[in-house]
Amino acid sequence: SYDILEKIEKKNSIGKVYTIDNFAKDLFSVIAKLKYKKLAIAGLSMGGYIILRALELRKNIADALIFLDTKSE
């Protein structure tokens, strides 16, 4: 499980800029550290938008993607 809210609260004091692109890059870092051979990613609400952006940046980020309460518009 990976929650961006926890990352925001911990890093807010250092002035990091929070963008969907930066969250997607954070997701890539988490994926790289996991080293799973097969991976399914679920995103709820804004997490789904982060996955959509990550998918635009890297087409094969996971074996399965699950979007919950996310629109593709």
Q: In angstroms, rounded to a whole number, what is the distance separating the alpha carbons of residues 20 and 17?
A: 10
Q: In angstroms, rounded to a whole number, what is the distance separating the alpha carbons of residues 53 and 28?
A: 11
Which of the two residues, 13 and 60, has the higher pLDDT score? 60
Return the pLDDT at 22. Answer: 87
What pLDDT, in 10s, does the model give residues 15-29? Answer: 667 788 988 988 998
Tokens of 54: 């990550």
Return the pLDDT at 9. Answer: 55
The helix (run of H) or strand (run of E) holding residue 66 is strand 64-68
Confidence class for position 65, pLDDT limits 50, 70, 90: very high
Residues 20-26: contacts with CB under 8 Å, at least 24 apart: 20/49, 20/50, 20/53, 21/53, 21/57, 23/50, 23/53, 24/50, 24/53, 24/54, 24/57
